[in-house]
Structure 1
């Protein structure tokens, strides 16, 4: 991937590649992109952990909760999962949905948006080629629906541009080369949408570097447009405006992980590392309100799970064996809601559209 990226930069008269293009290639190139490669990415053998992989009870509970939410609002059993990954979430959501209402589950239509052929095969394998599961390679292929569109760690994988401050003015950071090495450079911001977003954002003066998530916002707007009536559930590693614009994050949040280790630069090992950023939920909340969505919940993942009734999923048992199924099940729930858990890093945004 590095050689291909270098060649593309050399072919550019400006010898400049915007960050969003670099990230797009590093993560999604059909042959060398990180997410497109046939390799384990999640868990001990991969580069990062996800809640569905660490705690299957999470997806199962979510399936029950989504089922109840659809029935309460009088919505048809239609769900769309954004970014299906290896299929662990779909497998557990389907299981929980059926446990909540077997009859309602029979009519379920479960769309999964997943671009990676490798992950598509994994989803098909885990869901046993369930005819209710329809895998789509891109959001554009999703029909207009009534139901629920949800995501877990979807928006943090979008390519972003990067703006840096020089002499009090915002400039666009990008990639150039020195010999056979990639390095960062800057130029004036030429993209009107980027300049407009930075201006509307009213970025605090102490910030030196920020991500400009134009592709994320375009996808979010498309998602809202695809939802005729129903709910939008967004779970991700992110923060609201004040927390995102904290002085401790004045150099931005863009980062890369390989073998569970934070790399010194996202220019290291393109195609071999996961690149991510902290989702600015303030933008999503604001744009959702502008597009007619009503905010039903905003807060931490643990709070969301408790309010949703996950404690009712605890299994009463007198078994002292820590390796029994009941013990493992209850331990997963405790790990999801107690202090210093994976839930501490995730926020939940639950929005409704045309629900009265």
Structure 2
């Protein structure tokens, strides 16, 4: 068994397990040099299903770039590069294509794949793309992150029949890694108390300490602009609902939900839904102004997904159009991505709420 997870320790927090399983420089899931999103990969994201998501996003962003023509786009975690290619092309149709599109991608091999995909589009706009490991300093523009926050590591806590809390740890077992228990770390318990998370018996809690510093770093690197984060999640009251006693932690491989999140670290995706109350609190604490929160389906409806689908009906074969129509259903259906994926937006450096189409006023 590869020791890149425990690294000689007898026991580690689940937060450290998740961090190493996903981001270890040599063996982490996201450091493999392979694109993990798409129909033939481990999981799908809204941009990877079809161009519909990018077309609607362009419709929402066009007024911003008309008002701020020198702004750029930065995409955190650009995956295959498909959203960058489709979004640039769609904004070009609106005559609002930014001069610069920053792909925040630390993996060199993925950068090569992203560049090749963007360069291979009918409307080649790869000359507008630059690659960075982190958001460039003094950035002005729109930051886009799709399913990024749900991949940040979390601490796990468990309560017993009396409500007593303990920390969920990971250790080596006979056939791999196994769960263990330990006393609570003071800073994790303090976060639990500060957030006024409801107490339940026989309950597993997911506590993120990584979202706040992530957004703080983002704020410090931005000069002005707006951030759009799309992710699976709930408000805090719904996140810690009594019926959600097993939490939201899950693992995927080859589009299959894996019951054992400790199995084969580095070879399967691990994610955890987002506490959007925490995201809003952390954004405000960092200095951002929160613009709004909405469900993905409302955002896409407001930005004309029905009209976009009608446009493609005239451009595509019948079979291809049926695929696009199915993708629209996945993107907007409450039983699919439409209700569970939310968009939260926040800004720095000035009021722009009225410029973003699809957010509640």
1:222 paired with 2:213, answer: no
Residue of 63, 71, 74 corresponding to 1:77: 71
Could you report, residue by residue, the CA deviation over 1:76-129 in whole angstroms, capped at 9, with x for unpaired residues? 23111111111111111111111111xx42x52111112333322221111228
Please state which structure has a larger fraction of its residues in helix. 1
- 3-state SS of paired residue (1:342): coil
Q: Contact conserved, 1:81 with 1:150, CA < 8 A, in 2?
A: yes
Distance in 2, Cα, partners of 1:53 & 1:261: 17
Q: Contact conserved, 2:73 with 2:100, CA < 8 A, in 1?
A: yes
Distance in 2, Cα, partners of 1:51 & 1:97: 18
Distance in 1, Cα, partners of 2:222 & 2:265: 35
- How is 1:201-220 mapped onto 2 (pairs within 5 angstroms)? 201-206=195-200, 208-220=203-215
Q: Which moved more, 1:152-161 or 1:165-174?
A: 165-174
Distance in 2, Cα, partners of 1:319 & 1:279: 37
Q: Contact conserved, 1:83 with 1:112, CA < 8 A, in 2?
A: yes
Partner of 1:116: 107
Could you report, residue by residue, the CA deviation over 1:130-149 in whole angstroms, capped at 9, with x for unpaired residues? 2321111234xx21222111
Residue of 133, 138, 148 corresponding to 1:137: 133
Partner of 1:16: 11
Residue of 233, 237, 242 corresponding to 1:242: 237
Distance in 2, Cα, partners of 1:178 & 1:330: 47
Query: TM-score, normalised on structure 2?
Result: 0.86
Give the alignment's Cα RMSD to 1 decimal: 2.5
Residue of 1, 23, 26 corresponding to 1:28: 23
Partner of 1:278: 273
Q: Contact conserved, 2:167 with 2:182, CA < 8 A, in 1?
A: yes
Residue of 196, 202, 210 corresponding to 2:190: 196
- How is 1:1-356 mapped onto 2 (pairs within 5 angstroms)? 2-5=1-4, 8=7, 11-12=8-9, 15-39=10-34, 41-72=36-67, 74=68, 76-101=70-95, 104-105=96-97, 108-128=99-119, 130-139=126-135, 142-166=136-160, 167-192=162-187, 194-206=188-200, 208-315=203-310, 322-323=318-319, 332-333=327-328, 335-356=330-351
Q: Contact conserved, 1:43 with 1:53, CA < 8 A, in 2?
A: yes
Query: TM-score, normalised on structure 1?
Result: 0.87
Q: Contact conserved, 1:5 with 1:22, CA < 8 A, in 2?
A: no
Q: Contact conserved, 2:102 with 2:132, CA < 8 A, in 1?
A: yes
Equivalenced residue count is 343
Q: Contact conserved, 1:75 with 1:147, CA < 8 A, in 2?
A: no
- By how many angstroms is 1:63 displaced? 2.8
- 3-state SS of paired residue (1:17): strand
- 3-state SS of paired residue (2:126): coil
- Structure-2 change in CA distance of 1:286 and 1:75 (3 Å): farther
Distance in 2, Cα, partners of 1:114 & 1:321: 35
Q: Contact conserved, 1:78 with 1:109, CA < 8 A, in 2?
A: yes
Distance in 1, Cα, partners of 2:185 & 2:230: 33
The answer for unaligned runs of 5 or more in structure 1 is none
Distance in 1, Cα, partners of 2:42 & 2:178: 24
